[in-house]
Amino acid sequence: MRGWVLALLLGALRASGTELTFELPDSDKQCFHQELQRGLKFTLDYQVITGGHYDVDCYIEDPNGRAIYRETKKQYDSFPHHTELAGIYTFCFSNEFSTFSHKTVYFNLQVGDEPPILPDMGTRVTALTQMESACVTIHEALNAVIDSQTHYRLREAQDRSRAEELNGRVSYWSVGETVILFVVSVGQVMLLKSFFTEKRPGSSAAGT
């Protein structure tokens, strides 16, 4: 019995979904397509990791081309929705408003509800055993850990990008200061040297 329950725990899967991190050039747009059945729940989570002000335009269209979600210049967002039509749904991310900022975007599309960890969990009338309750608790805790790890990975990537950008700016500023200091030093030396240089008087011819 214990091995059966543990096998169910190890074999339990989350709702089917897709995670993707992609590059979004400036003045460009990228769209993704997913075929969904009617009455199905999906959730779109996205976040801009690097680039510009860390913002992007996002919109979702149903199979008829009607926009069911549209946001402009968002850094991150989450959108849950139950489909009313069966067909191909379009998920688009746009950086067309930016003329020079290259973006890196992460998104996670979860489709459907998570299957129950126990086959008869939704219909059973008896209480869960202690082992089953422990398995359900561990399963929920592991899901929370996965979500937390994803969140912290994105934050770490975003912070690293900001740190690298700041380090580049500091390096360029340091090089500029060094060049200016060198030019000023050479100029001061030349100026002081001109003060102490004796000028030879020109020879004047005396006519008698």
pTM (predicted TM-score): 0.65
The answer to whether 43 and 79 are in contact (CB under 8 A) is: yes
Q: What is the mean pLDDT of each run of 10 residues along the chain (208 residues)?
A: 36 62 92 92 91 91 94 92 93 92 90 72 67 78 81 82 86 92 90 74 51
Q: What is the pLDDT of residue 86?
A: 93
Q: What is the pLDDT of residue 125?
A: 57
Q: How far apart are CA 56 and CA 28, in angstroms?
A: 11
Task: Determine how β-strand 41-50 pairs with β-strand 87-94.
Answer: unpaired
Q: What is the pLDDT of residue 5?
A: 34
Does the CA dihedral 83-34-42-68 come out positive or negative?
A: negative
Q: What is the pLDDT of residue 15?
A: 54
